[in-house]
């Protein structure tokens, strides 16, 4: 991870805005998919692909690359948009999302597109897979970092807690970044099935916890830097994000969890995002 | 008569036939695989002794992961280990894995063609006194439709060791089905194990019925065939150790000879071996078929022999099914 200069940070913020625009364009073209989660996570994906990760878009299978495991596969449009912008595949291909003969499956399928690492969509399985990858790396004495992105909603899955328990027991060197946006498809998480106090729960399972604003790129990068220094425990980065971030009528509204914008809504969203880009 | 070309155990029909559990063959093979390949890793869900992974755990503690009672986590961690270049074997009772964690396996292992071996133990009603909660009787039906998986059901402990070693050689997902109780040793070290092929264990001149059996219950089919021959009824008994990919050619060739079929399995007849053979025959060569197995019901606690008798899977039930299917020709 290099130094984060003022110019670099400015560039990352421009990229995050561009990624949000690509997400809107993809979703309206696809006619189905999830809006709020991908928009909320654009800053974190930008930070990962353009600053944090050791990776090579032209060599996605590079053996010593850092691993970024996306557990909540339904937010994959943000990963596709970020990967395209980073040079993994042509930006034009984003328009094939969810269409027949596309490499961009509605939920990510590892074998379909180089660079995805794992297959996900059914919730609660990514953290376990990330743990498995970290265990294999440890057996082979490899030093790359394994990151996992999980949603808050999938912390209602038993499998997620099985994985949290396992990582605490085996002191797995792993960083789990939660997209704590407080919404899920049926409503707000604390109404559907309360998750709090998440920080204390992780600590009780023998994890180190760092809390940060997930829409503040600089703060998030600093949180990852802190997390990487912890080597005797798994680390949980509790990132508070705004679902639908950047599009006023989508922000913090759970009804945008699982639907795409209409053509008119997409135009409105694009206008807002372009305004943010010039004003910011 | 027993097929003289397969070096089967000459003591099969003796009163004091040697008995061993197929899970013991699995445990021995794991240790051999661990010695031969440092990438072999083993995971269990709090069942290391009863699924016979304890030998591997003792010998290779750094490559053994005790996951606790958490089968979904075990499956997905194995998928991750495979992604990292390892050859994981996950081991639990089949009702829990691939039962309880079916979707986790589907998504993280099968859809990715991950190099994970799923060992399902305590298969069938012969699990006995634990009762129906622990008797896996649908596991073939829930694994067989998965694209790209290989499904092995060994007939005895000797073949169980061979199928386990073979699973370690195969690149990709494999389901291995093992039983709890001791069952007669049918094959020998010299019996050739042919992955993907049915093998004729009992042959006759001008046979009237082809009996396909999978797993330890093949022994009961052989007992039936021997007595039927004494009564003048001639059969073939075929060991179906590979459920998937199915040996269509071998199955059709055996049915062509007889024109009638009995399937024998300690599993629900729907979706298991019976379903498989019926699918192949319906597509290629319709023939009368009788199904020995669990008939759309759950079993109960009891001794294995008592259960096999009560639920109509033993020698006498097989003999009746053979006679019935001949009458339908």
Q: What is the pLDDT of residue B322?
A: 98
Contact residues, chain B, for A140 at CB < 8 Å: 84-85
Same domain, B26 and B169: yes
CB contact under 8 A, B80 and A121: no
Residues B107 and B211 in one domain: no
Q: Is B189 among the domain residues?
A: no
CB contact under 8 A, B81 and A133: yes
Q: Which of B151, B184, B217 is the last residue of a domain?
A: B184
Instruction: Profile chain B (329 residues) by mean pLDDT over runs of 10 residues.
Output: 96 96 96 98 95 97 98 98 98 98 98 97 96 97 98 98 98 97 97 97 97 98 98 98 98 98 98 98 97 98 97 98 97
pLDDT digits (tens, 9 = 90+) for A199-212: 999 999 999 999 99
pLDDT digits (tens, 9 = 90+) for A229-249: 999 999 999 999 999 999 999
pLDDT of A254 reads 95
A1 is a domain residue? no
Catalytic residue among B35, B71, B290, B309: B71
B145 CB neighbour count, 10 Å cutoff: 11
Q: Which residues contact B129 (CB under 8 A, 6 or more apart)?
A: B301, B302, B303
pLDDT of residue A279: 78
Q: CB contact, 8 Å: B84 with chain A?
A: yes
Are B150 and B220 in a shared domain?
no
Binary contact (A118, B83; C-beta < 8 A): yes
Domain count, chain B: 2
Cα→Cα distances B269→B8, B122, B144, B243, Å: 27, 18, 13, 14
* CATH number where A104 lies: 3.40.50.970
CB contact under 8 A, B77 and A137: no
In which domain, by residue range, is A61 found?
Answer: 6-279
Q: What is the mean pLDDT of residues A29-38?
A: 96
* Model pLDDT, residue A2: 85
- Tell me which of B80, B108, B148 to substitute to probe the interface with A (most A C-beta atoms closer than 10 Å): B80
Tokens found for residue A147 = 């990151």
Q: Is residue B76 one of the residues assigned to a domain?
A: yes
Residues B228, B315 within the same domain: yes
> Contact B80/A140, CB-based, under 8 Å?
no
Give chain A's mean pLDDT.
Answer: 97
Q: CB of B86 within 8 Å of any CB in chain A?
A: yes
Decide if B77 and A128 are in contact by the 8 Å CB cutoff.
Answer: yes
The answer, yes or no, to whether residue A156 has pLDDT greater than 70, is yes
The CATH number given to whatever domain includes residue B262 is 3.40.50.920
Same domain, B157 and B232: no
Residue B203 and residue B179 share a domain: no
Q: Do B238 and B278 lie in a common domain?
A: yes
Q: Quick one: B277 and B220 in the same domain? A: yes
Closest among B183, B117, B125, B132 to B154, alpha carbons compared: B183
Residue B304 lies in a domain: yes
Give the CATH number, domain containing residue B153: 3.40.50.970
A127, part of any domain: yes
B147 half-sphere exposure, CB direction, 13 A CA radius? 4
Which of B79, B82, B84, B112 best tests the A interface by mutation, with the highest count of A CBs <10 A? B84
User: What SS3 state is found at A261?
Assistant: coil
Residue B71 is a catalytic residue:
yes
For residue B6, being part of any structural domain is answered with: no
Q: Which residue in chain B is spatially nearest to A133 when comparing CA positions? A: B80
Same domain, B177 and B208: no
Is B104 an 8 Å CB contact of chain A? yes
* Paired tokens of B93: 């009772």
Among chain A, residues having any CB pair with chain B shorter than 8 Å are 109-111, 117-122, 124-126, 128-137, 139-140, 158-159, 162-163, 165-166, 170
Task: For residue B263, give how far its alpha carbon lies from the nearest alpha carbon of chain A (Å).
Answer: 37
Whether the pLDDT of residue A61 is over 70: the answer is: yes
Number of domains composing chain A: 1
The verdict on residue A224 lying in a domain is yes
CB atoms A117 and B81 under 8 Å: no
* Residue B14 forms part of a structural domain: no
Residue A280 has pLDDT above 70, yes or no: no
Residues B216 and B149 in one domain: no
Domain that holds residue B244: 199-327
Contact (CB, 8 A) for B168 and B33: yes
Cis-peptide, bond into residue A29, ω within 30° of zero: no
| DSSP-derived secondary structure for B246-287 | --HHHHHHHHHHHS-EEEEEEEESSSSHHHHHHHHHHHH---
Residue B308 lies in a domain: yes
Residue at B40 is within a domain: yes
- Are B116 and B157 part of one and the same domain? yes
Query: Is A176 within the bounds of a domain?
Result: yes
B294 in a structural domain: yes
Residues B166 and B289 occupy one common structural domain: no
Share of chain B above pLDDT 70, in %: 100
Distance CA A276, CA A90 (A): 25
Digit-coded pLDDT (tens) for A96-134: 999 999 999 999 999 999 999 999 999 999 999 999 999
Closest Cα in chain B to A137: B84
Q: Is pLDDT at A165 greater than 70 in this prediction?
A: yes
Nearest residue, CB atoms, A129 vs list B41, B67, B80: B80
Nearest Cα neighbor of A266 from A92, A18, A23, A15 is A23
Test A118 with B108 for CB contact under 8 angstroms.
yes
Give the angle B279-B281-B287 at the CA atoms, nearest 5°. Answer: 130
């Amino acid at each position: 991870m290099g130094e984060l200069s003022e110019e670099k940070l400015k560039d990352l913020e421009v990229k995050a805005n561009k990624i949000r625009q690509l997400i809107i364009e993809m979703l309206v073209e696809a006619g189905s998919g999830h809006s709020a989660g991908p928009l909320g996570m654009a800053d974190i994906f930008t930070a990962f692909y353009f600053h944090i990760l050791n990776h090579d878009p032209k060599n996605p299978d590079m053996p010593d690359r850092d691993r970024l495991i996306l557990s909540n596969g339904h937010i994959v449009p943000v990963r596709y948009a970020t990967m395209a912008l980073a040079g993994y595949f042509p930006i034009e291909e984003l328009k094939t999302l969810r269409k027949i003969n596309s490499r961009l499956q509605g939920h990510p399928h590892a074998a379909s597109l180089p660079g995805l690492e794992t297959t996900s969509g059914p919730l609660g399985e990514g953290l376990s897979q990330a743990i498995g990858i970290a265990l294999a790396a440890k057996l082979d004495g490899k030093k790359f970092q394994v990151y996992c992105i999980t949603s808050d909603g999938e912390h209602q899955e038993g499998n997620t807690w099985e994985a949290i328990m396992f990582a605490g027991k085996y002191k797995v060197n792993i960083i789990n970044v939660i997209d704590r946006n407080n919404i899920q498809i049926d409503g707000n998480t604390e109404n559907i099935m309360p998750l709090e106090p998440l920080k204390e729960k992780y600590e009780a399972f023998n994890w180190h916890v760092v809390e940060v604003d997930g829409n503040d790129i600089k703060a998030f990068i600093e949180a990852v830097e802190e997390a990487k220094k912890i080597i005797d425990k798994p680390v949980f980065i509790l990132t508070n994000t705004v679902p639908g971030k950047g599009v006023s009528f989508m922000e913090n509204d759970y009804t945008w969890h699982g639907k795409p914008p209409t053509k008119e809504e997409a135009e409105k969203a694009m206008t807002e995002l372009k305004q943010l880009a010039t004003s910011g | 008569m027993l097929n003289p070309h397969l070096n089967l155990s000459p003591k099969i029909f003796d009163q004091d036939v040697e008995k061993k559990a197929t899970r013991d063959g699995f445990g021995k093979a794991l240790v051999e695989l661990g010695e031969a390949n440092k990438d072999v890793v083993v995971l269990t869900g709090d069942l290391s002794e009863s699924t016979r992974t304890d030998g591997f755990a003792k010998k290779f503690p750094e490559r053994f992961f005790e996951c606790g009672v958490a089968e979904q986590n075990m499956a997905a961690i194995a998928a991750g280990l495979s992604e990292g270049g390892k050859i994981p074997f996950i081991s639990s009772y089949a009702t829990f894995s691939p039962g309880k964690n079916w979707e986790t396996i589907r998504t993280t292992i099968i859809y990715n063609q991950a190099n994970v071996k799923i060992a399902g133990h305590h298969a069938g009603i012969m699990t006995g006194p634990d009762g129906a909660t622990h008797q896996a009787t649908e596991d073939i039906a829930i694994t067989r439709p998965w694209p790209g998986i290989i499904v092995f059901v060994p007939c005895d402990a000797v073949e169980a060791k061979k199928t386990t070693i073979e699973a370690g050689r195969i690149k990709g997902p494999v389901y291995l089905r093992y039983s709890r109780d001791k069952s007669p040793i049918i094959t020998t070290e010299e019996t050739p194990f042919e992955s993907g092929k049915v093998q004729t264990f009992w042959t006759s001149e001008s046979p009237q019925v082809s009996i396909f059996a999978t797993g330890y219950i093949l022994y009961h089919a052989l007992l039936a065939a021997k007595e039927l021959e004494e009564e003048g009824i001639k059969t073939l008994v075929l060991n179906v150790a590979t459920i998937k990919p199915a040996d269509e050619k071998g199955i059709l060739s055996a049915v062509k000879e007889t024109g009638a079929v009995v399937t024998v399995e300690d599993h629900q007849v729907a979706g298991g071996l019976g379903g498989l053979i019926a699918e192949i025959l319906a597509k290629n060569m319709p023939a009368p078929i009788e199904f020995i197995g669990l008939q759309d019901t759950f079993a109960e606690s009891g001794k294995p022999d008592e259960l096999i008798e009560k639920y109509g899977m033993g020698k006498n039930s097989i003999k009746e099914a053979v006679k019935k299917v001949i009458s339908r020709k």
